[in-house]
Amino acid sequence: MSSAVDLRRSLLRLDGRGYKNYQSLKGIYDFSDFTVFIDHIQGDPFAPPSRIRIRVPQKKAGFPKNLYDSPSREVGLRDYLARQVEIAIKKYSQGRRGIGKSGLIYIPSPGQEILERSSIIINQEFVEARLAIGFPAYGRRIAARQAEAIFFEELPRLVDNSLFWSRLNTREVFNHVNTNEDADYLRSRLDELGLVAFVADGALLPRASGVDPRPLSKGKVVLFESPPSLRVKIDLPHHGSLTGMGLPRGVTLIVGGGYHGKSTLLQALAMGVYNHIPGDGREFVVTNSKAVKIRAEDGRRIERVNISPFISNLPFEQTTESFSTDDASGSTSQAANIIEALEVGAEVLLIDEDTSATNFMIRDHRMQELVSKDKEPITPFIDKIRLLFKDYGVSTVLVLGGSGDYFDVADLVICLVEYCPHDVTAQAKEITQKYPTARKPEGGQSFGHLIPRIPLPHGIDPQRGKKRVKIKADGLESIVFGYQEIDLSAVEQVVDKGQVRALGDAVFYARKFMDGERTMAEVIAKVAEEMKEKGLDVLSLFPHGEYVFFRPLELAAALNRLRTLLCQSKK
């Protein structure tokens, strides 16, 4: 290990030389209170920034063990520290100096969710922050004085104000960690209580805007209050007694007039698979961790998916037990999205009719009269929703405003009136008695078989030109994968750019488990198992801080949207 003095001397010797001479600085440097690992140095000022790690030994950092003595608490602390490092960067970094990315110090910016992040590692030995740095240059020449300021002025201040226990707001730290642990505990209780979700009394569900996930703070804000018939009381480890609405297993409809909060509630449930930071308003809105938001997705590719529970008897004897297309319709895409989710263990479907294919959701009696079943390939969701619960135990929460026929298949009907929920199940059932539906059930006696698929490794090719692997995250909505683009715009439960980065590398990593025998579910499970045992670093050849935890459901979604994916049906 070299000393900080060695790094300073080496830097100053490089002043004015060609940019590639920065490569000689790779190594480990002792800064007395912390250690700097320079793991990767960019090839030029415009390339992706260099990667460093800053490690503080616990004997100096001093974090109490009870802040990270369980997986839940460790994730909460790591998330909190990532936020503190970002705050310190904004406060102490002078920002861009020179050309390209020169002078930038960067840690992935956390959002409203508390998530496992590779940017911070903590254990009994040390706490480590992983940063990206733009090594400074003017033209293609090393700007050593600016680099010296980064390493010897800005980084020490940043570390001192974010990675030492004595410098942090202890009450705030414990609140963040305890909130995460409470939410995990609450979610762990759902199953034994027969629930798929819980929404706390006093929760603030509306967001600032469609592109701003922070809580709404302007105008009239209505806090959530459970209908008395659905109110559940739960005692949390830190918060204590908590009441709120428990959504039971089965088929739940969320109805109401336009702009009264139906989609807002469903979106809160979709985001309830993750924990949220104190002050978000949804800290105690939790959903079954295997809940998935489903929508129509015109134009997506489908690879050998058995959509026959919903679509069969296509013209010209086209099979739907192993259905493939490069340009799916709304109905076929929604059918495939459901089957693909079930394939990897989804337990709850969250559906909004506004983003669904109409002909997939319902066929009323007049249309049944005009187009007989033997001429209609689609079995609408209304005729499969109860069979899905009966045969596979999969619940559905459905936002609905256009078809009362769903009252016949619902266990629970919640009506939103000016953002306040009301249990109107009894009224809905009275309406079904008063106005019996004239439509005929078309779903048969069972939901249908789920046929496992086996993904094949030669369909996973990230090579691009001379690059053996070209994988790049593009915001929240797409992954560049070799010559292909994985479109995630309809995968609504991806919430962090770090998840997209991790998903891209995980798609490639999954190939190692594709042996021609493992099913899609087994391949996904192997990746999840490796990540649980070895952490997010298993996805990369070297440690870096740009990964964020994702669920197996999102990995399956990314794989299924890779247009070169090849599968075979398991016999």
317 pLDDT more than 80? no
Question: Does residue 571 surpass a pLDDT of 90?
Answer: no
Q: Would you place residue 178 in the very low, low, confident or very high pLDDT band (cuts 50, 70, 90)? A: very high
Report whether 68 contacts 34 (CB < 8 A).
no
Specify the amino acid at residue 376: E
Is the pLDDT at 552 greater than 90? The verdict is yes
The predicted structure's pLDDT at residue 255: 97
Q: What per-residue confidence (pLDDT) applies to 375? A: 87
What single letter denotes the amino acid at residue 149? A
Mean predicted lDDT score pLDDT of the chain: 95
| pLDDT tens digits, 389-427 | 999 999 999 999 888 899 999 999 999 999 999 999 999
Give the pLDDT score at 474: 85
Per-residue pLDDT tens for 504-525?
Answer: 999 999 999 999 999 999 999 9
Looking at residue 108, what is its pLDDT?
94
- Give mean pLDDT, residues 94-101: 84
Q: For residue 548, what pLDDT band results from cuts at 50, 70 and 90?
A: very high
Specify the pLDDT at position 314. Answer: 81
Per-residue pLDDT averaged across 30-35, rounded? Answer: 96
pLDDT of 335 over the 80 cut: yes
Q: Which amino acid is at 278?
A: P
Whole-number pLDDT of residue 383: 96
pTM of the model: 0.95
Segment (H or E) for 2: strand 2-3
At 249 the pLDDT is 98
Of 93-102, 494-503, 514-523, least confident by mean pLDDT is: 93-102
Mean pLDDT of the region 280-284: 98
Residue 330 has pLDDT above 90, yes or no: yes
Of 148-157, 313-322, 546-555, which gets the smallest average pLDDT? Answer: 313-322
The residue extents of the domains of the chain are: 2-168, 291-434, 453-569
Distance from C-alpha of 130 to C-alpha of 107, rounded to nearest angstrom: 7
User: Per-residue pLDDT for 94 more than 90?
Assistant: no
Q: Which residues contact 293 (CB under 8 A, 6 or more apart)?
A: 270, 350, 351, 492, 493
Cα angle value 150/152/153 (rounded, 5°): 70
Task: Over range 417-439, report the average pLDDT.
Answer: 94
Q: What is the pLDDT of residue 95?
A: 83
% pLDDT > 70, the chain: 100
What's the per-residue H, E or C state across 226-294? CCHHHEEEEEECCCEEEEEEEEECCEEEEEECCCCCHHHHHHHHHHCCCEECCCCCCCCEEECCCEEEE
pLDDT at 100: 86
**Mean pLDDT of the 453-471 span:** 92
Per-residue confidence (pLDDT) for residue 220, from 0 to 100: 82
The pLDDT score that the predictor gives to residue 1 is: 86
Mean pLDDT, rounded, for 336-354: 97
pLDDT of residue 210: 86
Taking alpha carbons only, the member of 395, 370, 377, 375 closest to residue 385 is 395
Give the model's confidence band at 290: pLDDT under 50 very low, under 70 low, under 90 confident, else very high: very high
At 402 the pLDDT is 84
pLDDT tier, 468 (very low <50, low <70, confident <90, very high otherwise) = confident
Kind plus residue range of the DSSP H or E element containing 434: helix 425-434
Q: How open is the CA angle 538-540-542, to the nearest 5 degrees?
A: 105
Distance CA 173, CA 563 (A): 44
Is a pLDDT exceeding 90 seen at residue 54? yes
Coil, helix or strand at residue 24 = helix
